[in-house]
Structure 1
Amino acid sequence: VLKEKQEQELEKIAELSKEDAKNILLDKLKDDLVHESAVMIRSYEHQLEEEKDRMTQRILSTAIGKASSDFVSDATVSVVQLPNDEMKGRIIGREGRNIRTIEQLTGVDVIIDDTPEAVVLSCFDGVKREIARSALEKLVNDGRIHPTKIEEAIKKATKEVDKGIKEAGEHALFELGITGVHPEVTKVLGSLKFRTSYGQNVLTHSIEVGHLAATLAAEIGADVKLAKRSGLFHDIGKVLTHETETSHGLLGAEFLRKFGEKDLVANGAESHHHEVEFKCIESVLVQAADAISASRPGARRETLSTYIKRLEELEAIATSFEGVESSYAIQAGREMRIIINPAIISDDKTTILARDVAKKIEENMQYPGQIKVTVVRETRSVEYAK
């Protein structure tokens, strides 16, 4: 009874009921708790942000340290050493027939200048340049240089380069410990040895991305094997882009699925330039590893890739016409040399074809100066004396 009287007296003095006082106190406590909680949350968020940055730096530095490798930015020229300067005249041949045959069969510019005891081969396509280099070295060592011998040397060099491409693909798989790969995928992977992206060798870049992606996966507990495999194959579409306008990422993913690679492996190729959504964390790691490898100072050269793309566009325009067997952009893109099938295109039509190609180049491309279009029609008659 006394307690009730005291409570009633307090309510009169405070002009508040017991229930109202309780609510005011609870509201005050609630406000204090919300404020303290907000302060604590902000503090924890700040700590987490700092910890996240530290962990990210540690993971990336660990990955980069483990996958450190030397890069040499590939140029678009190869040099063939000669035993003496007299050999230059034999390479040129009577009225330039030898040098003309080499250039027509390989699509490579053969540059013979004042450089002592050396011939320079220039071409944006690494495979063509390597075939020409190997063939020319064989001819120089043999000493007999004439059109028939040149054809034989180029055929032999082509077989050797094809074998080297296969071995390069197998070596890349062995280095990363990847098995169960279709032979066609191995072959295309090896072809990346002769491709560059902004001056960076694509096969070396792909191997590094495989190492980086695997290390990143190990650091965060993701699938190391999937990240490594997806990283190695992420740029495989760059070999296949000559025949189509599809991006190398999408083209590579389609190619990988066709030859039995899992969907998540193909996703690493198609998503590393954000063209398709990431399907797994490993694809995100491939994209991060690709960015790390490409952004390292000195790894890439922007202007070289732009130049190569222009030459590829020139060749694609020429080969889009019926009857064209092959086309080569030479003289740094200032001349197009087109080899045609004589059974399809007559002598009279060669002039029309040259004009049509030149017109299409004018309509579809921007370039300084002018581009010379040369159409070559060669008829051969072969008979054997028995």
Structure 2
Amino acid sequence: MELWVSVLLGLVIGIVIAAGIVFWAWRTLLIPQQHRLDALRQKVDEEKSKVDRMQREAEAKLREAEAKLRDANLLVREELQRERERLEQEYRDRREELLRWERRLSQREEQIDRRISQIEQREQTLKQEEQRIQAMRAEIEELHRKAQQELERIAELTPEQARQIILARVEEELQSEIARRIYEAEEQIKREAEERAKKIIATAMQRCAVEVASEMTVTTVSLPSEEMKGRIIGREGRNIRTFELLTGVDLIVDDTPEAVVISCFDPIRRETARLALEMLIADGRIHPARIEEVVEKARQEMEQRILQAGQEAARAAGVDNLPEGLLKLLGRLKFRTSYGQNVLDHSVEVAHLAGMMADELKVNSKIARRAGLLHDIGKALDHHMEGSHIEIGIDVLRRYGEPEEVIHAVAAHHGDIQPQTVEAVLVLIADALSASRPGARRESFEAYIRRLEQLESIAKSFPGVDKAYVIQAGREVRVIVKPDQVDDVMAAKLAKDIATRIQTETQFPGQIKVTVIREVRAVEYAR
């Protein structure tokens, strides 16, 4: 019994041990493996669900693509249908247009055929007319030959002599006809332009008023006392010699009470010397070193005055953006005169006149004013350079880059070249107006007499002139012609020829009027 109990107990203990071992093996080995299997199964399920989802999305996109493809095919078919309809309509339009052109061409061909038939008929008519004309020409030539032979027999002239007579007569008739037409054209132009020209010029002159300045070649400087003359002369004349050497003037110390005279043809040097002398007199220290210092200071002040004068002139004329070099040249014109007229004042006056006339005519007034102000710029250098003031002025303006319109107006303001622009004509007119108005200019009595005699001699040199008189201070030449040699038509041509020759052979400020007078007197006595 105990044996069975022991065996049973051992069996139970073995079973318990085996169960513990199995439990331990199950917990240690089988449970993790089960977990891994569950995880793998879960991943497989997830992957399967992803695949299913991707499959569904792919199927949806496929269906969507198929729908879009169907829509695109439908749109393409509709577009193709519309394009086909458009091409068919265009084809029908082109066909109708071609049919219209075909009908027009057929009509044009019919017209051309009719025109050709008409031309052929006319050619035939012309041929007949040409044959008739040739026959008439031959008949006329025969008559002309017989008439010429008869004339030669009657007049006893050779063909060359008769030709010369006929040519002379034709030339005379042509001259008369040309003179008549020139007279008629000039009269018509005068009638049309006189009223407007008077209005424009009168308006410009009324709006412009400047002073008249007369310059000389000497300047008088007042002294505070007679003692100052000796100090100016200096010991053995060293002060006056130094002063004259540095300034380039002649200093005249004579018996004039409390005054000395500065003489020089160059107004700038004369003005510089005047400034220097006044500075020396005010300072009281007069010796060679001080004279040299004061003269240099006067030159610098003179340069500033020249630049200031140019700036003021440009501002007064309404011209801007002038280079400093041109402003200095303009300022030098303040000390230059022409027939007693100050050239800078004259230039400003010309700029005003040209600008106002340009405004009246609605043309470029800026170019007119600029050219009017700069038209005599060459006179600032004509004492130092070769050539006329026009040539010098053109070179200076080109060097400073002035516009070609301004340069052309400057070149044409004395009529040396033909004006090509309205502004150039206005500058020429303004220059003549400024120079010819009463009191603007003066000249020596001898030169004045020589100019009048030259004008009279030019007028009397033409054939048919009986007498010639210069009146109105040389502004008008009145020519009395012989009525039996010059008719009314030839009088106009004679006036033009005299004016042209005066303009070519003489120099004069302003303009000269030429008046030709033809008078016929019939006298009879009653007895």
TM range (shorter): 0.5 to 0.7
Deviation at 1:113, TM superposition (A): 1.7
TM-score, normalising length from structure 1? 0.65
Q: Secondary structure at the match of 1:211?
A: helix
CA deviation vs aligned residue, 1:265-296 (integer Å, no higher than 9, x gap): 11121111222332311111111111111112
Match of 1:231 among 367, 372, 392: 372
Counterparts in 2 of 1:243 and 1:54: CA distance versus 1, 3 Å: same
Distance 1:96 1:148 in 2: 14
Higher deviation after alignment, 164-173 or 75-84: 75-84
Matches within 5 A, 1:234-249: 234-249=375-390
Contact 1:264–1:279 at 8 Å: present in 2 too?
no
- 1:256 aligned to 2:383? no
Counterparts in 2 of 1:179 and 1:44: CA distance versus 1, 3 Å: closer
Bigger Rg over Cα: 2
- 1:64 aligned to 2:64? no
Q: Secondary structure at the match of 2:256?
A: coil
Distance 1:47 1:184 in 2: 47
Deviation at 1:194, TM superposition (A): 1.1
CA deviation vs aligned residue, 1:169-225 (integer Å, no higher than 9, x gap): 111111122112111111111111111112111111100000011111122222111
Deviation at 1:226, TM superposition (A): 0.8
Deviation at 1:259, TM superposition (A): 0.7
Contact 1:182–1:260 at 8 Å: present in 2 too?
no
Count the aligned residue pairs: 264
Matches within 5 A, 1:360-371: none
Contact 1:73–1:299 at 8 Å: present in 2 too?
no
Distance 1:121 1:140 in 2: 14
Q: Secondary structure at the match of 2:397?
A: helix
Match of 2:257 among 95, 116, 123: 116
Match of 1:104 in 2: 245
CA deviation vs aligned residue, 1:130-170 (integer Å, no higher than 9, x gap): 11000000110111111111111100000000000111111
Deviation at 1:301, TM superposition (A): 2.7
* Amino acid in structure 1 at the alignment position of 2:287: H
Match of 1:290 in 2: 431
The runs of at least 4 consecutive aligned structure 1 residues that moved more than 3 Å come to 42-51
Distance 1:236 1:205 in 2: 11
Q: Secondary structure at the match of 1:103?
A: helix
CA deviation vs aligned residue, 1:57-106 (integer Å, no higher than 9, x gap): 22111111111111111122222111111101111111211111111211
- 1:266 aligned to 2:394? no
Match of 2:339 in 1: 198
Match of 1:129 among 264, 270, 273: 270
What is the RMSD computed on CA atoms of the aligned residues? 2.1
Distance 1:111 1:47 in 2: 62
Distance 1:280 1:199 in 2: 31
Distance 1:89 1:300 in 2: 39
Distance 1:116 1:268 in 2: 51
Deviation at 1:242, TM superposition (A): 2.6
Match of 1:167 among 300, 303, 308: 308
Match of 2:286 in 1: 145
Counterparts in 2 of 1:43 and 1:77: CA distance versus 1, 3 Å: closer
* Amino acid in structure 2 at the alignment position of 1:75: M
Contact 1:254–1:266 at 8 Å: present in 2 too?
no
Match of 2:421 among 280, 290, 312: 280
If asked which structure has higher relative contact order (CA below 8 Å, sep 6+), I would say 1
Q: Secondary structure at the match of 1:302?
A: coil
Distance 1:279 1:222 in 2: 14
Distance 2:290 2:203 in 1: 54
Counterparts in 2 of 1:101 and 1:301: CA distance versus 1, 3 Å: farther
Q: Secondary structure at the match of 1:300?
A: coil
Counterparts in 2 of 1:271 and 1:49: CA distance versus 1, 3 Å: closer
* Amino acid in structure 2 at the alignment position of 1:291: A
CA deviation vs aligned residue, 1:313-370 (integer Å, no higher than 9, x gap): xxxxxxxxxxxxxxxxxxxxxxxxxxxxxxxxxxxxxxxxxxxxxxxxxxxxxxxxxx
- 1:212 aligned to 2:353? yes
Contact 2:318–2:369 at 8 Å: present in 1 too?
no
Counterparts in 2 of 1:251 and 1:62: CA distance versus 1, 3 Å: same
Contact 2:382–2:392 at 8 Å: present in 1 too?
yes
Higher deviation after alignment, 43-52 or 101-110: 43-52
Distance 1:243 1:128 in 2: 14
Distance 1:243 1:146 in 2: 31
Distance 2:185 2:310 in 1: 49
Deviation at 1:45, TM superposition (A): 8.8
Distance 2:328 2:341 in 1: 20
Higher deviation after alignment, 51-60 or 140-149: 51-60
Q: Quick check: which one's helix share is greater?
A: 2
Match of 2:227 in 1: 86
Q: Secondary structure at the match of 2:224?
A: coil
TM-score, normalising length from structure 2? 0.48
* Amino acid in structure 2 at the alignment position of 1:144: R
Contact 1:71–1:201 at 8 Å: present in 2 too?
yes
Match of 1:179 in 2: 320
- 1:302 aligned to 2:443? yes
CA deviation vs aligned residue, 1:220-275 (integer Å, no higher than 9, x gap): 22211111110000000111213332111121112112112101111121111222
* Amino acid in structure 1 at the alignment position of 2:213: V
Distance 2:380 2:185 in 1: 49
Contact 1:122–1:129 at 8 Å: present in 2 too?
yes
Contact 1:169–1:189 at 8 Å: present in 2 too?
yes
Deviation at 1:302, TM superposition (A): 2.6
Contact 2:317–2:351 at 8 Å: present in 1 too?
yes
Identity over aligned pairs, percent: 52
Deviation at 1:43, TM superposition (A): 11
Contact 1:126–1:194 at 8 Å: present in 2 too?
yes
